Structure 1
């Protein structure tokens, strides 16, 4: 039971974090949210290492962690931008389909994905297609921001998927060090982009925005910790399924806090994506 509870806690933390990231990015900008939440995450990862006294990773694991950091950095930037300009109820589930990447990597390496995971991938793809078929604007053209947000969501899925694929070999001896290295790689890049782009951080320094970005960073790290601990206390497949439900949390919050409305086809698409995520996690 503890493993399932921790898996659900991971979903809840990720789901709330994603929702907060979306609404905060709309108010203060994607780069500001990315920068400040990464700083908080980095600081907490350092604290985790100090408290746990975990050993340092090997050189090969550092390489995997660095590559995973590049993937998750690109994924987060695209994801937060997608949440800022699009419909969270659609963007969050599509971005979560990144679990397809390690499955495909396994297939290329000669692994058999099995019937359940194959059905999950098919369901996710069908769901994305249905979600894209949103309401038309006058004259028959699709809403530009909706299409753009789905492109961001797909890029985010590829970035997150790269992280999922590489984080396992990177974390063989130390998960905290892996997470710290991921941020060490991406944080300077984000700082550089903020400087080059001349992005304004003034609104991000308001008390409300600082509280939100601190919560985003803390909840993200808490979600990963909950998942890692859950796998130590329960069956991996069960914990993975429980922790994969986080897009549903974001979707529910967007529905009841922001009043987001989806067409019948989009609702079917979101459900198909969520089903696909669960099947892939369970396979």
Structure 2
């Protein structure tokens, strides 16, 4: 931090939780107001129900966020491949910089774009790979503690995305519920929450054995989409409804065909538990064409 806000945060003694809260508010003011007209994007994480963050909890969440964004950065760079482990190259290309920690929050910023480096993506306008990955993580997580549709959509995501979410699930189960706020350089803030209860539910689902994966084509009306949560809704000609996950690469096709008849190419996956119980299928949209 810098300037007036940094001085105020530094001078706040922190002898009580009220003073810690004041320091957190000052740090938040720094991230919101002290960046000038050419403000930088940042990711803020709040530990819900906490007044202070223990060192171990800070480490667990920081590591989980960096690992998750590195994995998401990997599939953004190369959608043809999956990864379940973070390597130094993926981490370096989607680096996060811890900018501030006060009270119950941590703020991360992002490295500047290197026009000669692998993390520079001209098509992303002003966002680096680190920013794109952080935004994607916040988009995939639930919008609230009651957002069950987003939990279901996580199960339909590709393997690397599920693995990235699982990093955050493990961290939340060991620390506290987390609130995520991504403030871009331009545009609106994107927020999400991963509660302990949601993390427990996802933990159980993500540990299940997945079988019977197949690709199916379904014709019907594209009924709706939650672009920020990467969820589509389809009304098949045969009746009923289908919803599931989609990747960011399909957002333009979705917008162009909303409320129209389409043929959707879906990856359908049935889930079987270790006890042999089979659940309803989950879907991921992998292709979309108008069907007139």
Instruction: Tell me if TM exceeds 0.5.
Output: no
Q: Which has the higher contact order (CA 8 A, sep 6+)?
A: 1
Q: Which has the greater radius of gyration?
A: 2
